[in-house]
Homo-oligomer: A and B are copies of this chain.
Amino acid sequence: MSAKDTYFMEIAVDLALKARKEGDEPFGALLVHKDQVVKTSENQVHTLSDPTAHAELKLIREYCNENRIEDLSEYTLYTSCEPCAMCSGAMVWSKLGRLVYGVSHDALAKIAGDNIMIGCEELFEKSPHSPDVKGGVLKSMAIKVFDDYTFGGH
């Protein structure tokens, strides 16, 4: 586990805690380009009343739109949990270069009680584009975000 990945994952976990405090689901993500954070994002499903406002999809959508780019192959996305199928799809369509996550999809499903049971790597394998994936970074820290949390929206 590189020091860089640990450093950026700490930020993702902080963003997840921020989302939780604001009444949204506890997920955070950030986009990194050449070792610089270019944008951060947190889940805002309830704040925005938008079931698609997961941290990762919102990050990709807003960053691409604001910067008029459709190709993230030079970027790394850090997210506190393995992305769901919707967000993994957004990573395919934006040609994301690298994905780093904390808590795995299966570990999250045990906590959340339900999920779309297709892991990101299975989805990427069946796709025309796949980012490099590194999972489990700071997972012990990242999973604490869910302590005493009850899922509402999903």
Contact = CB atoms under 8 A, between A and B. Distances in A.
A61 interface: yes
Nearest to A61: B52
Contacts of A48: 65
A116 B92 contact: yes
Nearest to A124: B116
Contacts of A89: 84-87, 89, 116
Interface in A57-76: 57, 60-61, 64-65, 67-70
A58 to B, nearest CB: 9
Interface residues of A, number: 40
Given A85-B85, A89-B89, A114-B128, A50 B61 contact: yes
A95 B147 CA distance: 26
Interface string A72-105: 0000000000001111111011110000000000
A20 to B, nearest CB: 17
B52 A90 contact: yes
B51 A60 contact: yes
A49 B68 CA distance: 5
A118 B126 contact: yes
Contacts of A67: 49
Among all A-B residue pairs, the 6 with the closest Cβ atoms: A86-B89, A114-B128, A51-B93, A51-B94, A117-B126, A85-B89
13 contacts: A48-B65, A49-B67, A49-B69, A52-B61, A52-B93, A52-B94, A85-B123, A86-B90, A87-B89, A93-B153, A115-B128, A116-B127, A117-B127
